[in-house]
Structure 1
Amino acid sequence: MTVQQTSLSAVRPPHVRRLGVGGGTALCAGAVLGPGVLTLPSLAAAAAGPASLLAWILLLAMCVPVAASFAALGARHPDGGGVATYVHRAMGPRAAATVGWWFYGAVPIGVVSAAWIGGTYVADAAGWGEAGAAVVGGLVIAGALASNAVGLRMSGRVQLLLGAGLAAVLLCTVLASAPRVSAAHFTPFLPGGWSSVGSAASVLFFAFAGWEAASHLSGEFADPARDLPKVTRNTLLTITVLYLGLAVVTIGVLGPAAADTDTPLTVLLTRSVGAAARPVAAVAALFLTFGAVNSYLAGASRLGAALGRDGAAPRALAKGCGPGEVPRRSLAALGCACALLGVAAGFGGADLDLLMRATATCLAAVTLAGLGAALVLLERRTWLWWGVLGSAVLTTGVLAFSGALLLLPLVLAVASFVFLTARRLRA
């Protein structure tokens, strides 16, 4: 059994012959960066205040062995299945199926979260309020579902442009806001105690999914063993500069007010360059959100079809999994789940913070499974193996701060086990 596409952020790139370090870095950085970063600095500030910087640093440090191990496994076992392929090799098909269910279950939550972010930025610029944000978010999801249903796919160049656009917006925000940073806004540094740092890390994990993108790219390099480490280092440097820079200016410029806004980039740019930045930030957020939602649904619908084809999910989902076909049944299942979640959120059943924490919990479970596989497949007692072990411990700690949301991956794992057991008994 092969389970494909296991990252909310990692969309398998188009076929590129002899991919270079520059192009590989652009694709990998684009997979890690996502629309969540447009609001996560505020959510983290609400959880831990200035100490949320420690959560950013902690997760960035954890990324080093995670990225290095996925790059090493991608070089040794080139395959489009990513983490699920490694889990299959290390732990067997049932564990790989569970990873697939975790990702498939996380996508509708992540899609609603991303659409909500885009809708909030547009509504903030237009003065439409929460109802306007919900309408815009719904239109984003509907447009992405329609695009995928008719078989339209965003080209690799468009995806790269969207990723480059997000990086440019973040960098401009950091540079424009840096002169306004005030040291007074960093005190008191730890208002919520040390546990608040763990709470901030549990929601920030949303911004750190996608490192298995390196494994999806491995077959496209002329020399994966030589180029993947360089791509990984370049991507780590890029996200470190952007994430830490954004976190510092959000706290340093906005202070306690950072926790009170859902559109921190708009607020930062407005204070730095004036009101003209408001529509610019809204348009950028809308395009980035649509691109992310479209990619999420494209990858997840094919994953659902692959799970159905391989017997890890209902066979009905398998229709449309062939080359050039459109997995409309899997897409419809995702669309129904998005609609139900969107309606529940609209009537107060969930807020953006809760949705992003739920998505991050499932993604952290996927990452932990990948790290477990790396501990089995990589050479033991090397510096990389010990680094993976340390990251696995940190990821477990982040998961512990998810609290009741741990029920989500647990329920999905039980559902996967029950389905596979029932299918075997019927057979």
Structure 2
Amino acid sequence: MAPRTRPVTAAARPPGQPAGPSSAPAAHGTLTVAQGTALSVGAVLGTGVITLPALAAAVAGPASLVAWAALVLLSVPLAATFAALGARLPDTGGVSTYVRRAFGDRAAGAIGWCFYFAIPVGAPPAAMMAGGYVADVVGGGRATTLVVAVVLILGTAAMNAVGLRLSGRVQLGLAITLALLMLVTMTLAFPHGDPDHLAPFAPHGWGGVATAAALLVWGFAGWEAVAPLSAEYRNPRRDVPRATAVAVGVVGVLYLGLASASVLVLGSSAGQSEAPLSDLMAVALGEGARVLTAVAAVMLTLGTMNAYFAGASRLGAALARDGALPRLLARGSGPGEVPRPSLAVLTLGAGLSLVVAAVLELGLAPLMLLTTGCFTLVYVLGTGAALRLLPRFSPGWWTAAVAFVAALGLLAVNGVHTLWALGIAAASLAYRARGPARVTASSP
């Protein structure tokens, strides 16, 4: 789900008033549990799943299934924490609003920077994932992968530059298509599985499992999107937890099922494939299925990249408008306008990241770990805010405590790549320290 920006007014929290639900009656929306579940699933399922099973297997072997299970389990307290915040404090500002209430404007600004500067680093690996599927069909290896990545990045930038955006229904339709593709793939592939492919179980040791877990944050980022949606539910206190619980179950089944099918069916070759979904479909339906899977991978990637470029470019313009980034980037921050300067920064950054990856012959993992470090830092701040905003020692507070500790653990296993996220946060604080600035609630 793309980042959204909403202004925070002084009425959101009068001076001296403790953080908590407003005494004014809340105006709720029309979102049902079923619709909320679909949106939550769509926010979490992303392009990473078309390649993540292979990446995780490459660094951890069959033991990558432990990392998948760990991230599914982490999703429970993490999603529950944001659901609790959304049910108690419905607000379209989402996680940034909660961090602002708990820690102040500068911490909230750091979240905006983390999201904004994660996109130029995360776009190339996302585009290269789709490129790997095209190369699997037409050949050309890495050269084809890089060409497709360039086309996707420039195409996405061009779409946004002329103001062309995919509607929310189209984005949701793409997510549903991905879910159905995953379901069909693992259903058809499982009968071809071989338990012997589970040995040796941890060929790279348990350190590989930790690295795999850090990578898999890419595929699980999105639970924080539950918070901005909370105000749209008919009954937030009742419906947000229900929709979140169902979404966690659906995502867990799809991810674990696909990862298990990849390991059991593909065996040791699972970690060497650039198109694991195509390989699984080819086993079940024949080589002709690769073309269909490649087309689906490209369309899904284009839809996801378009959403993130659209949201991030507007986020950057809003941050610049409110003094958190150079004013030059503020042009196009108004309703209906196109934030072309901010979009240009994202595009140039993505292009530079892709050039560095090509010249240094980097795989997907390094850039993905830099990106997931930013997402994980947002989770640390978001769950930390929940510890201050939720009633102390309540069930929601304890859930947030578990999520906070787990997020810190993920930040640690991200290793040196965490320095990128911490550096962005530090740069944000240093930039804001130059003088006071109005702020905008920014969240995915």
Q: Percent identity?
A: 49
Instruction: Select 2:148's aligned residue among 136, 144, 155.
Output: 136
Deviations 1:352-411 (A, max 9, x none): 111111111111111111110111111111232222212221221121122211110121
What is the CA–CA distance in structure 2 between the aligned matches of 1:17 and 1:376, rounded to whole Å? 27
Is residue 307 of structure 2 the alignment partner of residue 306 of structure 1?
no
What is the CA–CA distance in structure 2 between the aligned matches of 1:192 and 1:117, rounded to whole Å? 24
Deviations 1:133-170 (A, max 9, x none): 11111111111111111111111111111001100111
**Paired position in structure 2 for 1:379:** 391
Is contact 2:121–2:371 with CA below 8 Å preserved after alignment? yes
- Secondary structure of the corresponding residue to residue 212 of structure 1: helix
* Amino acid paired to 1:280: L
What is the CA–CA distance in structure 2 between the aligned matches of 1:321 and 1:77, rounded to whole Å? 27
Is contact 1:362–1:408 with CA below 8 Å preserved after alignment? yes
**Paired position in structure 1 for 2:288:** 276
What is the CA–CA distance in structure 1 between the aligned matches of 2:41 and 2:220, rounded to whole Å? 11
What is the CA–CA distance in structure 2 between the aligned matches of 1:57 and 1:70, rounded to whole Å? 20
**Paired position in structure 1 for 2:191:** 179
**Paired position in structure 2 for 1:4:** none
Is contact 2:4–2:315 with CA below 8 Å preserved after alignment? no
**Paired position in structure 2 for 1:51:** 63
What is the CA–CA distance in structure 1 between the aligned matches of 2:88 and 2:343, rounded to whole Å? 33
Q: Which runs of 5+ in 2 are unaligned?
A: 6-27, 438-444
Q: What is the Cα deviation at residue 21 of structure 1?
A: 1.5
* Amino acid paired to 1:183: P
Instruction: Select 2:341's aligned residue among 329, 341, 347.
Output: 329
Taking the TM superposition and a 5 Å limit, the aligned residue runs for 1:154-193 are 154-193=166-205
What is the CA–CA distance in structure 2 between the aligned matches of 1:45 and 1:401, rounded to whole Å? 17
* Amino acid paired to 2:216: L
Is residue 51 of structure 2 the alignment partner of residue 39 of structure 1?
yes
Range moving further from structure 2, 68-77 or 245-254: 68-77
- Secondary structure of the corresponding residue to residue 422 of structure 1: coil
Q: What is the Cα deviation at residue 422 of structure 1?
A: 2.3
* Amino acid paired to 2:108: A
* Amino acid paired to 2:67: A
What is the CA–CA distance in structure 2 between the aligned matches of 1:72 and 1:175, rounded to whole Å? 34
Q: What is the Cα deviation at residue 17 of structure 1?
A: 5.2
Deviations 1:3-38 (A, max 9, x none): xxxxxx45559xx95111122111111110000111
Is residue 434 of structure 2 the alignment partner of residue 418 of structure 1?
no
What is the CA–CA distance in structure 1 between the aligned matches of 2:421 and 2:182, rounded to whole Å? 32
Is residue 146 of structure 2 the alignment partner of residue 100 of structure 1?
no
Range moving further from structure 2, 109-118 or 238-247: 109-118
Q: Which runs of 5+ in 1 are unaligned?
A: 1-8
Instruction: Select 2:414's aligned residue among 390, 402, 426.
Output: 402
Q: What is the Cα deviation at residue 121 of structure 1?
A: 0.7
**Paired position in structure 1 for 2:241:** 229
Is residue 211 of structure 2 the alignment partner of residue 199 of structure 1?
yes
Q: What is the Cα deviation at residue 128 of structure 1?
A: 2.5
What is the CA–CA distance in structure 2 between the aligned matches of 1:11 and 1:269, rounded to whole Å? 33
Deviations 1:235-257 (A, max 9, x none): 11110110000111111111111
Range moving further from structure 2, 238-247 or 123-132: 123-132
* Amino acid paired to 2:341: R
Range moving further from structure 2, 412-421 or 94-103: 412-421
Q: What is the Cα deviation at residue 191 of structure 1?
A: 2.2
What is the CA–CA distance in structure 2 between the aligned matches of 1:12 and 1:254, rounded to whole Å? 39
Q: What is the Cα deviation at residue 192 of structure 1?
A: 2.3
Is contact 2:2–2:312 with CA below 8 Å preserved after alignment? no
Query: Given the superposition, is the C-alpha separation of residues 67 and 97 from structure 1 closer, same or farther in structure 2, using an over 3 Å criterion?
Result: same
Is contact 2:95–2:228 with CA below 8 Å preserved after alignment? no
What is the CA–CA distance in structure 1 between the aligned matches of 2:221 and 2:52, rounded to whole Å? 13
**Paired position in structure 1 for 2:127:** 115
What is the CA–CA distance in structure 1 between the aligned matches of 2:303 and 2:350, rounded to whole Å? 16
Q: How many residues align?
A: 415
What is the CA–CA distance in structure 2 between the aligned matches of 1:29 and 1:256, rounded to whole Å? 30
* Amino acid paired to 1:372: G
Is contact 1:318–1:327 with CA below 8 Å preserved after alignment? yes
Moved over 6 A (4+): none
What is the CA–CA distance in structure 1 between the aligned matches of 2:286 and 2:423, rounded to whole Å? 48
Q: TM-score, normalised by structure 2?
A: 0.90
Q: TM-score, normalised by structure 1?
A: 0.94
What is the CA–CA distance in structure 1 between the aligned matches of 2:361 and 2:96, rounded to whole Å? 32
Deviations 1:298-317 (A, max 9, x none): 11011111111221111222
**Paired position in structure 2 for 1:341:** 353
**Paired position in structure 1 for 2:24:** none
